[in-house]
Structure 1
Amino acid sequence: MNGLAAQHMRTLFHIEWKLFNRIRANYFFVVFVPLMILVAMRSVQEQLDLDRYGLNPGPLMVATSAGILLIFSLYSSVTGLYVARREELVLKRLRTGEVSDPVILAGGASMYVAITVAQIAVVAAVLSVMFDAAPRQPLSALAGLLTGVALMTAMAAATAALCRSVESVMVATLPAVFVLPMVSGVYIPREVLPDVLGDVLLYAPLSSTVDLVRSGWTAELGAAGALGRCALAAGWTVLFAWIAVRRFRWEPRV
């Protein structure tokens, strides 16, 4: 990224941060709601016989929290952001200047990316202390975080392309919000599912990110396994980015 693009990114970040702070309710929806869901999922996972499957609750909860926060704090928020800025003609005006399309989208999402990364880092640190589970493979966890951020941002842009208005964002994001955590090992670990189903769900969009984050604490993935998960996540990211490039609208639909 050249200096001009970096400057544009910083400018867009500061603008979105100021707009975010104008509405205090944003802190509730982006910060407290995902954490409340995380607490609820902890009670659900306590009902599972994790010892029977050789699962450590600490790393499992870290991966669960990462998946929940990526979906609710990043994906849902950025989808709504893209649609709102399009309807306000902000995206159209930005395109008339020297800011490139990728920088416009990345810069707009950067504020929510920062919030999500900070949330995941804090929650992971707290859970590590609670369960006395220090990271054993930090690079794997970092790879999971990076792939998850890229995937959810690309998926948000692709979803925003389907939305006609801000009001339709909630409906458009429902499949991902409800289905994605179920099939990607966020709510229920794939190990507790039948073997065939677990093997199939390995290829779900967010499964690779969940596996990489958990492996950051368990070191269950070797180099080949981690690279395979990164490649799978990259494939999904490229697919959603391609959909966004072809379908994304920069001004309101007539």
Structure 2
Amino acid sequence: MKTDVLHAVRLARLDLTLVARNTTVLFNVLLLPLLLAWMYTGAQGGAEVAGVPGGAFVLTGVPGLMLGFAVFINLVNSFTARREELVLKRLRGGQPSALAVMAGSGLGALALLLGQMVLLGIWLHRTEGVLPANVPLILLAAVLGVIVFGLLAAAFSGLTPNAEMAQITVLPVLMVMLLGAPIAFPLDVLPGPLGTVSGLLPVTPVVEMMRTGFLGADHFSSGGEALSTAGQWVAALPSIGIMVVWIGVTGLLARWLFRWEPRHG
């Protein structure tokens, strides 16, 4: 167990080093979500949303975008490229266990996401005067989101024939995240069936937990009323339950679809 943890940490450090050395990946993973956040906040025009300034509402939903880029797209590209280059095959045949290899990629993605969220927190404080109200809830949302979208990335990498096609394979999930998650709008603006579907998407519970954790108010419903710390955790329980279900679903998909060797054999 200790050896697997050490291997996972070592692989995570390698992942972060490779990201830092690749300007294109660094832009897509770290800066593009922040650029989209700036565009979303500009579109709000200062109007209030769910009882809070539009800028604060959008920025506290931006971690949903970050999951799409820093975790999902990043790991689909990484898993696919390493599989085609036989890196995954060599890793599986070496000392790290399969779990350590997957955990290492997940830890690297989590570090990227948390780095983005630190920048986001500074942005929120400087522009909106917001300080996080419930950091543990925010961290739990980040961890659950990385697990779900990391497993989903592993599954989608198995459907992706090569690294060049990865940019196309990820588009359906990315479009659903951009259009269906309550990043720039409250969930209740969607008509009944669409609102129900959006509420069950794995990105929506993460956004709701992040927004509630940052603002200290109930953003699991349309109310936006202030909540105590204990009240925030109680309100988050259904969202946590949805994420646990998604961990089971994406875990099965990853086990079924993920490939350690090139698709052409």
TM-score by length of 1: 0.90
Q: Residues 108 and 143 of structure 1: is their aligned pair in 2 closer, same or farther, counting only changes over 3 Å?
A: closer
Which residue does the alignment assign to 1:178? 175
Cα deviation 1:13-45 (Å, max 9, x = unaligned): 233233334333332222222211111111223
Which residue does the alignment assign to 1:82? 79
Letter in 1 for 2:146: V
Which residue does the alignment assign to 2:216? 218
Cα deviation 1:178-204 (Å, max 9, x = unaligned): 112221212433133335543442111
Q: Are 1:61 and 1:127, in contact at CA under 8 Å, matched by a contact in 2?
A: no
Which residue does the alignment assign to 2:6? 7
Letter in 1 for 2:32: V
- Partner of 1:161: helix, strand, or coil? helix
1:105 aligns with 2:102: yes
Q: Residues 186 and 11 of structure 1: is their aligned pair in 2 closer, same or farther, counting only changes over 3 Å?
A: same
What does 1:239-254 correspond to in 2, within 5 Å? 239-254=249-264
Return the alpha-carbon distance in structure 2 between the equivalents of residues 191 and 218 of structure 1.
19
TM-score by length of 2: 0.86
192-201 or 66-75, which deviates more = 192-201
Task: Give the drift of 1:225.
Answer: 2.5
Return the alpha-carbon distance in structure 2 between the equivalents of residues 88 and 95 of structure 1.
13
Structure 1 unmatched runs, 5+: none
Letter in 2 for 1:147: L
Q: Are 2:124 and 2:131, in contact at CA under 8 Å, matched by a contact in 1?
A: no
Which residue does the alignment assign to 1:18? 17
Task: Give the drift of 1:75.
Answer: 0.9
Q: Are 1:62 and 1:213, in contact at CA under 8 Å, matched by a contact in 2?
A: no
Return the alpha-carbon distance in structure 1 between the equivalents of residues 142 and 56 of structure 2.
14
- Partner of 1:134: helix, strand, or coil? coil
Identity of aligned residues (%): 27
Structure 2 unmatched runs, 5+: 221-230
